[in-house]
Amino acid sequence: MVAADANVHLKYMILSNARLYFEIRSELDMPPRETRNSNNKDASDHGSAEESSKQSPQENVKDEPSDERPAAAGEKRKKSPPPDNANKASKATEDEQATKTHDEDPSKSDASPEQILKFLLSDAAVDMCRPKDELEDLEKRGKDIKTYAQLLSPFEELVCAVVLSRPISHRLGLRTIRTILNPPWEFTDAESIKAAGAEKIYKSLDDARTQHRGKTTGEIEAIAEAVRKNNWHNDLEKLRKQAKNKVDKERDVLQSSIKGLGKTGLNIFYRRIQWLWEEAYPFIDARTQDSLEKLGMPKEPNEVVELIDKNWQDLEVDDSGDFKDEEKKRRAFVLLLERSVGADLEKKSEDILTAAAKS
């Protein structure tokens, strides 16, 4: 009886050990549970990227097939190259490919500040810095209409600065300027604005399909009133004399005389007027510095002046008008700033760089 019980117990132990053996083998032959679960996930699982980012760097490294073979008898095992050497070789290949692509397709890194300067001051750059609807307007109404890209009087510049200082798009701002400076409105001096009155000024802004019509109407009226009241005229020369040609004083007088004219509007005005008012030259506001930086151009005023001086003989500068060389250089300075800002606002900076590199 005891022997029979011993045999039964022995058989039970053998069967239990065998089952344990096969369970262990089964677990060893199968992939880890986490891997199995991830293989069964639906491809649209949005949590997968987040989960993988939580894994340790070691868990994200895949096993790469080895190029090594077993060493033959009497042969020393060949060591794989150190990781640093492999990385250097890979980096060298990438550099060669980058150089090849660089040579075949010039990019912005190819354009030097001198090339960018020359291109921005060329006729080829003008249309690249305009909104699309301005190009269409010029095509429809002719090249003789007034635009912000042309020479304007100090009074017109002041009106334009107020328009552009409103929180509207570049496209809307330039369309408003074209509308109010050209027929049938032609608000080009204080007298025409005074004669029109608020209702017609508002109507002109309505024709431009712009925003903030009420506030802009009031500010345009305020400019005309200040000019008439102080007898400044269109050239604003009496204002300069009143301020003794000191920029800080000029800005104070303008801001105190024209309701709604703030720092942004004054910066726009002085960025443009400095080619005529040499006391303000050279001036680059922070907004324009950002645009210059996107083009890889110097952003400090004296550095830009020096760049223009060094390349003056090679620049395309409009010779029309009875201007001295120093005035022409200041005008070139202003055009460079304006076209840099225009290209930036129209998201054409990359196109400018590509064209400059090929010029």
161 and 265 in contact (C-beta within 8 Å)? Answer: yes
Residue-averaged pLDDT of the chain = 80
CA–CA distance, 174 with 42 (Å, rounded to integer): 52
Confidence at residue 16, expressed as pLDDT on a 0 to 100 scale: 56
CA–CA distance, 24 with 251 (Å, rounded to integer): 86
247 or 97, which is more confident?
247
Q: How sure is the predictor about 323, in pLDDT bands with cuts at 50, 70 and 90?
A: confident
Q: How sure is the predictor about 67, in pLDDT bands with cuts at 50, 70 and 90?
A: very low
What ranges do the domains of the chain cover? 113-358
Confidence at residue 340, expressed as pLDDT on a 0 to 100 scale: 98
300 or 108, which is more confident?
300
CA–CA distance, 117 with 332 (Å, rounded to integer): 10
Confidence at residue 35, expressed as pLDDT on a 0 to 100 scale: 38
Q: Is the entire prediction scored with pTM above 0.85?
A: no
Q: How sure is the predictor about 129, in pLDDT bands with cuts at 50, 70 and 90?
A: very high
Percent of all residues in the chain with a pLDDT value above 90, rounded to a whole number? 65
Confidence at residue 328, expressed as pLDDT on a 0 to 100 scale: 94
Residue closest to 161 by CA, chosen among 241, 219, 226, 100: 219
Dump the DSSP string for 238-267: HHHHHTTT-HHHHHHHHHHHSTT--HHHHH
140 and 175 in contact (C-beta within 8 Å)? Answer: no
Confidence at residue 71, expressed as pLDDT on a 0 to 100 scale: 44
Token digits of residue 134: 């301005």
Residues 6+ apart with CB under 8 A from 111: 119, 296, 353, 354, 356, 357
Token digits of residue 62: 């895949």
Say if residue 101's pLDDT is above 90: no
Q: Please give the average per-residue pLDDT across 283-311, as a whole number.
A: 98
Q: How sure is the predictor about 9, in pLDDT bands with cuts at 50, 70 and 90?
A: low
Encode pLDDT of 223-268 as tens digits. 999 999 999 999 999 999 999 999 999 999 999 999 889 999 999 9
Residue closest to 117 by CA, chosen among 286, 284, 310: 310
Q: How sure is the predictor about 82, in pLDDT bands with cuts at 50, 70 and 90?
A: low
**Identity of the highest mean pLDDT range in 9-13, 93-97, 338-342:** 338-342
Torsion 50-56-59-62 (CA) sign = positive
Q: How sure is the predictor about 359, in pLDDT bands with cuts at 50, 70 and 90?
A: confident
Confidence at residue 7, expressed as pLDDT on a 0 to 100 scale: 56
Token digits of residue 144: 């003789």
- Separation in Å, CA 63 to CA 36, 49, 70, 165, 308: 18, 20, 18, 60, 58
Say if residue 204's pLDDT is above 70: yes
Token digits of residue 305: 């002046």
Residue closest to 235 by CA, chosen among 190, 182, 174, 187: 190
Q: How sure is the predictor about 123, in pLDDT bands with cuts at 50, 70 and 90?
A: very high
Q: How sure is the predictor about 65, in pLDDT bands with cuts at 50, 70 and 90?
A: very low
- Separation in Å, CA 246 to CA 241, 250, 274, 280, 324: 9, 6, 12, 8, 22
Say if residue 313's pLDDT is above 70: yes
Encode pLDDT of 28-61 as tens digits. 444 444 333 433 333 333 333 333 333 333 333 3
